[in-house]
Structure 1
Amino acid sequence: MGDGGVKAILFDLDNTLIDTAGASRAAILEVTELLKTRFDDEHVVGDICERFNMKLLQESFQPSRDLTIDQVRIGHWDQAIREAGGKGPDSAVAARCYWTWKNTRLTLLSIPEPFRNLLLDLRGTLKLLLLTNGEVQTQREKIQAVGCEGLFDAIVVGGDHAEEKPALSIFHHCFQVLGVGPKDCVMVGDSLGTDILGGINAGVRATVWVNGTGTASPDVSIKPDYTVPSVLDLPSVLACLNHSVDRSGMRSI
């Protein structure tokens, strides 16, 4: 699979190799059951969870000696409870919500066995690098939970660097770590705005958008070279690259 100039593959983590979205939904359901033992109004319970999810999406965490990511997210739950009108909120309830959510999510995360076998097979001929955006502790905990350290030649967490995907600097760092050039690499990920755009701007050989839901592209201005429903379709992409270097159009496998 390493023929045709491809020497390395950069993989995204969340919702590319692991179902973070699914695990997060299941974790919220666990918290919902917990909150029902505290609050009688199911609408309030639902509102609390929706508010937490929104705060998570809007989160902008800056590392601090005084505040950890765990404390920040306990604060999200505390604020969500107060804003939703939950009576008698206290830090203990917010902390229980957070640890239930976090531990449930980490427990449910895994790299499916077929994905793991594919990575092992690819690593026999190619260099593999895991490139994931996010806060360092959070992403490292996911990586440890799914036990994927041995599947990659290198792991790069965006939170460890001044810039994350789609910034050129972090892609250049990855190329340097692997000892390859942009045209030696394929970028694989589920996010058009970070994985695919970053790969295009960095000049990689090809970008592969993992569109597991089959939905239409939310941004037609970002055009991946290949669109696949799963990383398991990657061998077909590599086979195409071995026979063609034409990047003139978006292709689906």
Structure 2
Amino acid sequence: MRFKQIIFDVDDTLIDFAATEDFALHALFKKHHWQLTREMQKRYHAYNQGLWRKLEQGTISYNQLSEQVFQVFLKQNFGLEVDGKAIMAEYRSYFEQAYQLLPGVEDALRFAQNDYQLTVLSNGEAFMQRHRLEQAGVEQYFSLIVTSEEAGFSKPDRRVFDYFFDQTTIGPEDTIFFGDGLQSDILGAENYGFASVWYNHRHRRNDLNLHPMFEVQTYPQFVDLLKRDFQPGYRLG
């Protein structure tokens, strides 16, 4: 086999992040009687993604992100003064209840488990990510689940990969990363010096000039790669 281990991201790679965020936001805003329009939801998503980019760039910490998300957003858009950490804790309690798999995930994991060690590396909280994978019925496919909370660093920081590879007997030369995040997954793998597959199901542009070994848009395309043993020459159909 060309590789022995596949690392998977979680949010928007295994579990549908858009569906999860939609559920959690609606539950939170309904509880507090805040109006959540489609435009307001777009604003939140853009703001939240901006904070995650800062986290990945190392300019803010995970604790700072947790405190600022709702504290700043609600102040700017509703004029509300809130305890940012408390609202985030409530939001995460709803977030961990949503675990809709993306199409084709379980079929791909079932196929891949026969030839590869399957693992997870996620920027997120340990309990929440494990709980969601368990609730989605796919936790049993993974021999190792590592989160940024446990590692103390977030992708693409090299130190999160140091921590990950300290936990597994398979080295980066025999590993390939499968994830949707250019700034986190693909950049992290490229900087660390191992292969990646960009799961570009949101049809985004590669504006970071990164070089994943392959790009796919669906899980059936990923299974085709597995059947071909990740040999060069694969093109999106």
Q: Same fold (TM over 0.5)?
A: yes
Choose the corresponding residue for 1:12, options 2, 9, 26. 9
- Counterpart position of 1:21: 18
In 2, are the aligned partners of 1:49 and 1:80 still within 8 Å (CA)? no
Structure whose CA Rg is larger = 1
Q: Deviations over 1:114-147 (max 9, x none)?
A: 4123213311221011011134454344344434
Distance 1:52 1:185, change over 3 A: closer
Q: Give yes or no for the alignment of 1:163 onto 2:169.
A: no
The aligned amino acid for 1:237 is L
- Identity over aligned pairs, percent: 22
CA distance in 1, matches of 2:88, 2:217: 34
The aligned amino acid for 2:11 is D
Q: Unaligned 5+ residue runs, structure 2?
A: 53-59
In 2, are the aligned partners of 1:17 and 1:231 still within 8 Å (CA)? no
CA distance in 2, matches of 1:225, 1:168: 19
- Counterpart position of 1:217: 206
In 2, are the aligned partners of 1:34 and 1:97 still within 8 Å (CA)? no
SS at match of 1:54: helix
- Counterpart position of 2:124: 134
Q: CA deviation at 1:188?
A: 0.4
Q: Give yes or no for the alignment of 1:58 onto 2:39.
A: no
CA distance in 2, matches of 1:211, 1:62: 25
Q: Give yes or no for the alignment of 1:233 onto 2:221.
A: yes
CA distance in 1, matches of 2:183, 2:17: 18
Compute the TM-score of the two structures, normalised by the length of structure 1. 0.70
Q: CA deviation at 1:61?
A: 4.6
Q: Give yes or no for the alignment of 1:124 onto 2:121.
A: no
In 2, are the aligned partners of 1:224 and 1:250 still within 8 Å (CA)? no
Distance 1:197 1:32, change over 3 A: same
Instruction: Map residues 145-156 of structure 1 onto 2, 5 A cutoff.
Output: 145-156=135-146
CA distance in 1, matches of 2:202, 2:147: 25
In 1, are the aligned partners of 2:156 and 2:188 still within 8 Å (CA)? yes
The aligned amino acid for 2:47 is M
Q: Unaligned 5+ residue runs, structure 1?
A: none
Name the count of aligned residue pairs: 229
CA distance in 2, matches of 1:196, 1:96: 31
In 2, are the aligned partners of 1:61 and 1:135 still within 8 Å (CA)? no
Compute the TM-score of the two structures, normalised by the length of structure 2. 0.74
CA distance in 2, matches of 1:239, 1:226: 14
Distance 1:49 1:151, change over 3 A: same
Q: Deviations over 1:205-235 (max 9, x none)?
A: x31000112232232x112111111233222
Q: CA deviation at 1:7?
A: 0.9
In 2, are the aligned partners of 1:8 and 1:186 still within 8 Å (CA)? yes
Farther-moved stretch of structure 1 (22-31 vs 222-231):
22-31
